[in-house]
Amino acid sequence: MAHGVDAVPQFVESARERFPLTSFEVGDLLELPFVDARFGGVLAWYSVIHMNPEESASALAEFARVTTDDGHLLMGAFLGPDGHPFDHAVTTAYCRSEQGLTTQIEAAGFHVLSTHTRTSREHRPHLAVIARKRPPGQKVT
């Protein structure tokens, strides 16, 4: 069963209205309210764009904590110089480089399976990363 978490109460309320059969709650991505290894995967689609790289490392550790061994992570971010801040909506957002984000995902205990980038004139450059959690004791190769 899918479960959504967001720090913004209005976003959670909107999600509940749009997807009434899915569970959503207000929460902190740095302290997820779930037991270890609860989910087979985490979708973090632009979920940590307002966190600088140091903060997002903590969020990635939480994603790894709640993901089963061999579970997956799909993450989306703005592509650019790693940690480069820019004005976005109501607060600062940060770009992530492909190398910077994949290194951080690997350090959190995942193995990066693939990365995808997209650029266009109409939108900011985009980065997506698909990763699988490494079983305990498996080293990065």
In degrees and rounded to multiples of 5, residue 65 shows phi and psi of -60, -40
Q: What's the whole-model pTM score?
A: 0.91
Q: What is the pLDDT of residue 1?
A: 80
Q: Where are the beta strands (DSSP E) in 37-141?
A: 39-45, 67-78, 85-88, 91-94, 110-118, 126-133
pLDDT of residue 136: 75
CATH class of 37-133: alpha beta
> Cα(112)–Cα(82) distance, rounded to whole angstroms?
17
pLDDT per position as a tens digit, 33-66: 999 999 999 999 999 999 999 999 999 999 999 9
Confidence of residue 89 (pLDDT cuts 50, 70, 90): confident
Residues of the chain with CATH 3.40.50.150: 37-133
pLDDT of residue 90: 80
pLDDT tens column, 113-133: 999 999 998 999 999 999 999
Predicted local distance difference test score (pLDDT) of residue 141: 59
Residues 6+ apart with CB under 8 A from 80: 86, 95, 96, 97, 124, 125
